[in-house]
Amino acid sequence: MKRLTTLGLIAGLCTVIGLFVSSGPEAVADALWASGWGAVLVVAARFVAVAWAGLGWWVVFPRDERPLLRTCVGVRFVREGVNTLLPVAQVGGDLIGARLLTLQRVPGALAGATTLVDLMIQALTQFLFTVAGLGILVALGGDGPIVHYVGLGLVVAAPALVAFYLVQRRFGQALLQAAINRFAGGREWRIFGAVDVLFERLRGLYAARGRIATAIGTHLIGWIIGTLEVWIVLRFMGYEVGFLEAIVIESLAQAVRGAAFAVPGALGAQEGGLIALCAVFGIPAEAALALSLIKRLADLTVGLPSLLLWHALEDNADQGRRPAAGIGAALRARLRPRQGLGPAFGYAAAPVDGKGE
């Protein structure tokens, strides 16, 4: 897997270099300069979108066991930073996020179950967002290879989405227990208990249809917020792109990025996808590459502080200290480790029931 990731990274870098050379570095630089303050607004929109995704995760928790909202938002930033900037196939950050919740006194089964449900809802809403983008493209008169390729991708993705759901609801527990029974040796009974609690939590979370519906609606709004990145940049560059066209570009570009999950940062895939999608609306390649650069600037601006927050929280746990109060305090603890820490990191005094421990 590591070798495959390395090969993907090399191929992505070569693709990016080739696209920039063929489009003309000066032309790309001019388009980037024309975006002006739009780049700052894109970074702001990214912060809002990630925080909004934290809200979508928070509403999944049972009301009497919810951490404070800023806790989910902070850990959601960590998930985003790890998935965006580290070679973890866009899922390692979610595992780290669940672990960080357990360090903050959230029962392990609840942390794992809410993370799985949140991943399911994100996948479902991205699928719906892609369907909406494809529908808008067809309604606007679009036809050709892009429509056919995206349609084929949706046909392939739909069964995978259903399978991911069924694994959490019906078949996953037996499969996981069978794997543990083969590899866990004489300690099966302890791990089986944790697996039972995890799936019990999953059943309870999915049974709360009101919370699931709220989370779905929240994440759908989050995808719309992400569309502002495309719309802002292209408008600042002087292209008369409507919001519907921006939805097409953003939704299908995110689908391309998701399909290239094995390539760190979707290098090359994002750039090539944006060039093809922008071309549908008469936007030249240099503008599409400038848009991709600004998106990657947002990746770095949001991701680097998030990685710093992750290390701060890990350090606090290793030192046996009480977690810091929110992102700012955790970062301060990282930069000044010998100073005292503030109040607990965004958690109400919820009882710990020991489930999943």
DSSP string, 206-230: HH-HHHHHHHHHHHHHHHHHHHHHH
Percentage of the chain exceeding pLDDT 90: 50
Our separate counts of H helices and E strands in the chain read 14, 0
Cβ-contact 323, 317 below 8 angstroms: yes
pLDDT value of residue 222: 96
Cβ-contact 72, 78 below 8 angstroms: no
pLDDT in tens, 190-231: 444 578 888 889 999 999 999 999 999 999 999 999 999 999
**Dist CA 271 CA 286 (whole Å):** 10
pTM exceeds 0.75, yes or no: yes
Radius of gyration over every alpha carbon of the chain, rounded to an integer in angstroms: 21
Distance set, CA 10 to CA 5, 17, 267 (Å): 9, 11, 9
CA atoms within 13 A on the CB side of 353: 9
Q: Which residues have CB under 8 Å from 327's CB, separation 6+? A: 70, 74, 77, 305, 309
Percentage of the chain exceeding pLDDT 70: 77
**Dist CA 297 CA 172 (whole Å):** 39
- Mean pLDDT score across all residues of the chain: 82
Residue 324 has pLDDT above 50, yes or no: no
Residue pointed to by tokens 């791990």:
191
What pLDDT band is residue 8 in, cutting at 50, 70 and 90?
low
Cβ-contact 237, 35 below 8 angstroms: yes
Question: Which DSSP category does 171 fall into?
Answer: I
What pLDDT band is residue 296 in, cutting at 50, 70 and 90?
very high
**Dist CA 49 CA 229 (whole Å):** 10
Choose among 289, 250, 276, 244: nearest CA to 30: 289
pLDDT value of residue 350: 39
Q: Which residues have CB under 8 Å from 191's CB, separation 6+? A: 180, 184
Lowest mean pLDDT among 33-37, 112-116, 253-257: 33-37
Lowest mean pLDDT among 51-60, 136-145, 255-264, 322-331: 322-331
Residue pointed to by tokens 């029962």:
107
What pLDDT band is residue 9 in, cutting at 50, 70 and 90?
low
Give the mean model confidence (pLDDT) for residues 57-80. Answer: 94
